[in-house]
Amino acid sequence: MLYRSRATAPLSDEALGQLLHTARRFNAEHRISDMLLYSARHFVQVLEGPEEAVRDLYAAIQQDTRHTQVVTVSAGPTAERHFAGWSMAFGRVATPDLDRTLRAPLLPAPPAPARVGKKAKTKPCPPGRTPPVFNPTPLSTYTLSYRPDLDIVFLRWLSPDTLAEAQASYEATLVLALAHGCGNWLLDSRRSGPLKLAETAWLTHDFFSVAVAQLAPRRLRLAVFSSMQRLEQMRHDAEVVPAVQAALAATQPYEAAIFMGEAEAVTWLQDPAA
């Protein structure tokens, strides 16, 4: 199920965070996977899961007073989930091209609704046009940007975060990386506080596997820009050391390395032989 809508009022970071927290808990309980994009009061959302559960959720969404002009873009069965493993992936986008795209179905004369059960045809990107990019403005506790000159996605945490906030930041990073076919990620963790075992376990056993599969054939390479305090924890904390060793193991389907300087991290990401 794919739909678009318009928020009745601008949503603050706090309001968006509460919406994501509630939705992720509900989706996990009902085996629904989900992707939500928000831009200038406009929503685009994909719902995947058991037909009855998706239908009931969409009926509730249509009655939600926080948005209006709910337009069904397409609906029907698919061979596989596109966002399997995500209770809700989230991205906040702010580019003129995407804003125009989001507003298009909300104009007085919208296109005819897609037929249920028919797979929507996608048009190739016109010559000279590039995919929308995420604006590198603060998204709650982190910033996210893509550098086309370096072919690197930068995720920077601005303050210590909760597990839910960390998961949201990684999910948004993958959405941006997929838009550009970018497997090189620089993760600036200097301000994110002590390493959390629950977050490391989720990344190692769940999220990175999904990211690797989604990005294929591009290889996922992770350069972690660390603070000295966090590095000391990874070296000497008896509970943390095994988790870090597992995350950095050569047997993982991705490459990862830890750096104390950003220049070193960028150099490593740009050298496939590193």
Specify the pLDDT at position 221.
Answer: 97
121: tokens are 């045809």
**Residue 38 — very low, low, confident or very high, per pLDDT cuts 50/70/90?**
confident
The predicted pLDDT at position 84 comes to: 66
Q: Given a cut of 70, is residue 131 above it in pLDDT?
A: no
With 90 as the cut, is the pLDDT of residue 91 above it?
no
The pTM score is 0.56
Q: What is the pLDDT of residue 3?
A: 84
Instruction: Tell me how many degrees the CA angle 85-37-94 measures, rounded to the nearest 5.
Output: 140
Q: How far apart are the first and last CA of the chain?
A: 42
Per-residue pLDDT, 242? 93
Q: Average pLDDT, stretch 135-161?
A: 76
Tell me the mean pLDDT in the region 66-95.
72
Please list, in sequence order, all residues whose beta carbon lies within 8 angstroms of the beta carbon of residue 65, skipping any fewer than 6 positions away. Answer: 8
Spatial contact of 6 and 65, defined as CB atoms under 8 Å apart: no
pLDDT of residue 88: 67
pLDDT of 98 higher than 50:
no
| Mean pLDDT for the stretch of residues 189-217 | 91
- The per-residue pLDDT for 33 is 85
For the cut 60, the answer to whether the pLDDT of residue 59 exceeds it is: yes
Alpha-carbon gap, residue 198 to 29, rounded angstroms: 20
pLDDT of residue 243: 92
Out of 138-147, 155-164, 236-245, least confident range:
138-147
